[in-house]
Amino acid sequence: MRARKGLEEVISATERDRLVEELGVVRRELIGEMLINLSRSTGGADLQLVQIATLFTLDRGSEPTVRELAERIGRSVSATSRLLDQLAQRGLIHRREDESDRRAKRVGLTEAGTRFLLGVARSRAEGQLRLMTYLSETEQRTVREAMTLLADAARRHGDEHR
């Protein structure tokens, strides 16, 4: 595996600030529409940001215990339990008894939770694809190649942190 360099080793502070600014422009253009689509996809039921973040945390393939999940999202076990109650009422997550410790509960996404997250990803991707129509063919190809590289980096990052 190649050694990772920090962003500051690859680009200057000025270039980094410019990149942060440019990414912000893209996100600001997309975020409002994406949040409106999210609201529509939940049948008008508003989800809090921490609930959405929790669903994304659960979308990593494993089923953590409530305690493990609380640590990952930086909340107390009791606050996490209340949050999970709300998500379970909406049918987005399920809880089951841990086979090795009957006192612990494992948490995972339901099919509805997975569909919700796919809808989020689809909405975000469609917005980005709309923005790409303002690019030339060559620029679109460059963005596609860059996104493939970022996806590869995200996979390696995920593998390293699981």
Q: What is the DSSP string of 16-82?
A: HHHHHHHHHHHHHHHHHHHHHHHHHHTTTPPPPHHHHHHHHHHTTS---BHHHHHHHHT--HHHHHH
- Reference 106, options 77, 67, 71, 156; nearest CA is 67
Q: Is the domain of 116 the same as that of 149?
A: yes
Q: At 94, which CATH number?
A: 1.10.10.10
Please tell me whether the overall predicted TM-score, pTM, comes out greater than 0.85 for this model. Answer: no
Q: Residue 2 domain-assigned?
A: no
Q: Rounded to whole angstroms, how far apart are CA atoms 149 and 155? A: 10
pLDDT of residue 5: 65
To which H or E segment does residue 148 belong? helix 137-160
3-state SS assignment for residue 97: strand
Q: Is the domain of 40 the same as that of 52?
A: no
Using an 8 Å Cβ cutoff, are 72 and 54 in contact? Answer: no
Asked if residue 15 has pLDDT above 50, the reply is yes
Domain that holds residue 88: 47-109
Banded model confidence at residue 81, pLDDT cuts 50, 70, 90: very high
Q: Is the domain of 77 the same as that of 122?
A: no
Close Cβ partners of 7 (under 8 Å, ≥ 6 residues apart): 16
Asked if residue 41 has pLDDT above 90, the reply is no
Q: Rounded to whole angstroms, how far apart are CA atoms 113 and 88? A: 10
What's the mean per-residue pLDDT of the chain? 86
pLDDT of residue 44: 47
Q: Rounded to whole angstroms, how far apart are CA atoms 104 and 123? A: 35
Q: Is the dihedral of CA 79, 69, 87, 106 positive or negative?
A: negative
Q: Is the domain of 39 the same as that of 51?
A: no
With vertex at residue 69, the alpha carbon angle to CA 66 and CA 73, rounded to the nearest 5 degrees, is: 135
Residue whose entry in the numeric block shows the structure tokens 């509960």: 105
Q: Is the domain of 73 the same as that of 146?
A: no
